[in-house]
């Protein structure tokens, strides 16, 4: 065999195997990539749907948590109260909302000059007592939370002028407050003086269930004697008697509404 013949026989041989297989490889790869993209899209949609459902399911839990926090704050720390009358004018005006803190009363005894909120039970018809629904209870809670009256108790706000054991007298023209025989200056009362509101003398002790002490009355232990700054328009201890300390809700310390009256008390 000649050299030229050998050279011709060494030419590259054509690839063998079914042409259809070689042609289908790129198509199969593209199909697989497309399927992968579709599955990824499904996973993303599923994950997004589950995330939305998860966030929606959290809303009731967050509302419950906020409610529990509000209950704790209202019960143990701070509560808002609405001023419905002018009995504390000019210190407080009708429509003012004040914050009452309850923490200091846990360690400190009520003191003279403190402005406090206390509760008095209102008359409830025995025929309707106990008929409140769950909705009524919830409504009452939120009214208390906003400092509005509930109809079950009356909240009064007054100034403590004497504490348990003090001898108190309120008389004269104009009226003068005397505690333990000492005349007390009261620049905060309406118009700076009281020309003629109800008095408190030894003649009133029996009516108010207080012990007589000279020309005045002795404040019972465990109670406080309160009066409004607007002496001529105040239903206070001169009428309802001393207030049990355990009826005190807390100490008013700041006006939060309206903006024009905002400030410490």
CA torsion through residues 113, 114, 115, 120, sign: negative
CA dihedral 50, 56, 61, 67 (to 10 degrees): 170
Question: Cα(1)–Cα(131) distance, rounded to whole angstroms?
Answer: 122
∠ CA(113), CA(114), CA(115), 5° rounding? Answer: 115
Q: Give every CB contact of residue 61 below 8 A, 6+ residues apart in sequence.
A: none
Question: Cα(183)–Cα(216) distance, rounded to whole angstroms?
Answer: 13
Q: Choosing from 158, 167, 178, 237, which is the catalytic residue?
A: 158
Asked about 34 being catalytic, the answer comes back as no
CA 233 to mean position of chain CA atoms:
29
Question: Cα(172)–Cα(191) distance, rounded to whole angstroms?
Answer: 17
CB 189 within 8 A of CB 124: no
Percent helix, percent strand, percent coil in the chain, to nearest 5: 40, 25, 35
Q: Choosing from 20, 45, 74, 87, which is the catalytic residue?
A: 87
Question: Cα(8)–Cα(112) distance, rounded to whole angstroms?
Answer: 125
Asked about 178 being catalytic, the answer comes back as no
Catalytic residue numbers, as ranges: 87, 158
């Amino acid at each position: 065999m000649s050299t030229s013949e050998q050279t011709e026989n060494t030419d590259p041989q054509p690839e063998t195997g079914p042409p259809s297989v070689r042609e289908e490889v790129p198509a199969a790869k593209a199909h697989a990539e497309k399927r992968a993209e579709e599955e990824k899209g499904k996973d993303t949609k599923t994950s997004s749907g589950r995330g939305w459902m998860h966030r929606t399911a959290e809303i009731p839990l967050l509302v419950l948590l906020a409610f529990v926090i509000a209950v704790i704050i209202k019960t143990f720390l701070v509560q808002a109260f609405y001023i419905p009358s002018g009995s504390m004018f000019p210190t407080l005006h009708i429509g003012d909302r004040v914050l009452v803190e309850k923490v200091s009363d846990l360690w400190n005894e009520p003191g003279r000059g403190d402005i406090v909120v206390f509760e008095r039970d209102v008359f409830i018809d025995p025929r309707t007592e106990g008929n409140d629904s769950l909705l009524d209870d919830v409504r009452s809670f939120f009214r208390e939370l906003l400092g509005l009256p509930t109809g079950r108790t009356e909240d009064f706000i007054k100034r403590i002028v004497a504490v348990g054991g003090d001898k108190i007298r309120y008389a004269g023209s104009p009226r003068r407050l005397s505690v333990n025989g000492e005349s007390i200056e009261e620049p905060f009362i309406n118009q700076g003086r009281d020309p003629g509101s109800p008095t408190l003398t030894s003649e009133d002790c029996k009516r108010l269930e207080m012990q007589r002490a000279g020309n005045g009355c002795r404040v019972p232990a465990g109670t406080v004697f309160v009066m409004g700054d607007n002496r001529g328009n105040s239903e206070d201890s001169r009428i309802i008697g001393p207030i049990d300390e355990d009826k005190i809700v807390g100490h008013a310390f700041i006006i939060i509404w309206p903006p024009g009256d905002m400030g410490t008390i």
